[in-house]
Structure 1
Amino acid sequence: MDRLTYQATAPAGAATPAGAATRRPVTGSVHSWDLSTGVDGPGTRFTAFLAGCPLACLYCHNPDTWRLRHGRRTTADELVAEAGKYTAFIRAAGGGATLSGGEPLLQPVFTGELLHRFKHELGLHTALDTSGFLGARASDALLADTDLVLLDIKSWEPGLYRKVTGGRGEIAPTVAFARRLALLGNEVWVRFVLVPGLTDGPDNIEGVAAFAASLGNVSRVDVLPFHKLGAAKWEAVGRTFPLAGTPVPTPEQVAEARGIFAGHGLYAV
């Protein structure tokens, strides 16, 4: 199956004798879910990791989510019921529900259904963790049900962006999606992974920072230090971790990157 054209199933079913419409459950491919704090949006979050991603980022710590077959076919009903077990705790902790991956917008129907139900049935704050590469697939209705977008900007320089994404990505779709979010007024947290010798060039960081500052809806920037915690997952899926010899950034390097974002008036952590 072409990973770039897949959408979750949500067809209308046959009408009942009385004329009332029924429909099949909305389904998608889910790799896993977890309860997390501080990394997937504000407060304690119910985070679902959807399977499938069109990119192959060199520093990815979840390569086991790249293909749809890496997930389990799951209905929206199942996932909403699972999240519902924790709603009281999540609300008390000032959290919500986040869709991550993989890339959730590879399954836009499923993603839209989940965001809508998390927000309107469970009353949870909703967040979408995305690269923006497939941002054109997000309907206005999906974004209206999204309280926060965690936008992962891989790099600013076009050639470097393509290199970071394993030769599969372009910066232009992310830029277009970010500008659309600004027009719609969606709150955005920019995420930027700092990799020594790859994404840490001052001009590259400056480009991301200047763009983020120009949008007017970026309330936070997460400078995420590169790590190797997912290296074993690369081996598990039969691949060689391409950044095995790359050092993690020093605290000074992280502080310098954050300083560039702060210099543009952005709150960087």
Structure 2
Amino acid sequence: MQGLVHSTESFGSADGPGVRYIIFLKGCPMRCRYCHNPDTWAGEGGTMMDADALLDQAERYRGYWGPEGGITVSGGEALLQMDFLLDLFTRAHERGINTCLDTSLAPFTREEPFFSKFERLMDACDLVMADIKHIDPEQHLALTGRDNANILDCLSHLSEIGQPMWIRHVLVPGITDVDEYLYRTRDFIAGLKTVERVEVLPYHTLGVFKWKELGLPYTLEGVEPPTPERVERATKILRGQL
């Protein structure tokens, strides 16, 4: 069992609790207009690795993790490589390693065989960090190229089965930084029982050079990052403080 790995990061401090070893897998079904890793979209290139080889690398840094650290698998979209991800998380738990999945949840379906594998994956997953790209279906489609019905369904399912979650929301001026949408997102999050943290990630342009290198048109040209005041307001709204 091997997975297609884009890259790894030894000391992640913003991708789950504690210090984390981050594994970025290749392939993503979304085409988010603000994506800062478009080089992970294609399900080709990268390096084929098996779970034990990755975990052996990760454990070299275990002394730095502290009581809360571990591994975080991101992408791309890790759920596209479900079989490998399940093998990786299962083996990680056998080693006593904390596991975190950073995901858009875009591949989620209740159809088989995906759903049964997903349920087994959650048994070996300590935390899901999920992005809510946009709460409005039409706006979500325009922003990512995909509908959000299955994503919201997955979040509700994770709440029902007691899966700990962190919710992340990228704040893009004029697109997601709209009070109406923020309050609708807040109302949805309020109905989830297992959300431990809500984070607002300000839109930035640090990955624009990758779009240019790949010859991709960047459709948010000219959009500036949100002001600190807007980030603070959005955070308060999503956390039910405003």
Structure 1 and Structure 2 fold alike (TM over 0.5): yes
Counterpart for residue 105 of structure 1 = 79
Instruction: Work out the CA distance in 1 between the residues paired with 2:51 and 2:160.
Output: 29
For 1:189, the aligned partner's letter is: W
Structure 1 residues 136-175: aligned runs within 5 Å: 136=109, 137=114, 138-165=117-144, 167=145, 169-175=146-152
1:207-232 CA-to-partner distances (Å, cap 9, x unmatched) read 11111110111111110000011011
* Residue from 221, 236, 257 that aligns with 2:234: 257
Matched length? 236
For 1:130, the aligned partner's letter is: T
TM-score (norm 1): 0.84
1:53 aligns with 2:32: no
| Matched-pair contact (CA < 8 Å) for 1:50–1:99 | yes
Counterpart for residue 30 of structure 1 = 5
Which entry has the higher C-alpha Rg, 1 or 2?
1
1:30-88 CA-to-partner distances (Å, cap 9, x unmatched) read 00000234321011000000000000000000000001113212222221111121122
| Matched-pair contact (CA < 8 Å) for 2:204–2:225 | yes
1:235 aligns with 2:212: yes
Unaligned runs of 5+ in 2: none
| Matched-pair contact (CA < 8 Å) for 1:41–1:150 | yes
1:106-150 CA-to-partner distances (Å, cap 9, x unmatched) read 0000111111112222x1211001111112335211011111000
Instruction: Work out the CA distance in 2 between the residues paired with 1:261 and 1:70.
Output: 38
1:132 aligns with 2:114: no
Instruction: Work out the CA distance in 1 between the residues paired with 2:100 and 2:140.
Output: 24
Unaligned runs of 5+ in 1: 1-25
For 2:60, the aligned partner's letter is: K
| Matched-pair contact (CA < 8 Å) for 1:64–1:70 | no
| Matched-pair contact (CA < 8 Å) for 1:51–1:101 | yes
Moved over 4 A (4+): none
- What percent of counterpart residues are identical? 40
1:117 aligns with 2:96: no
| Matched-pair contact (CA < 8 Å) for 2:10–2:61 | no
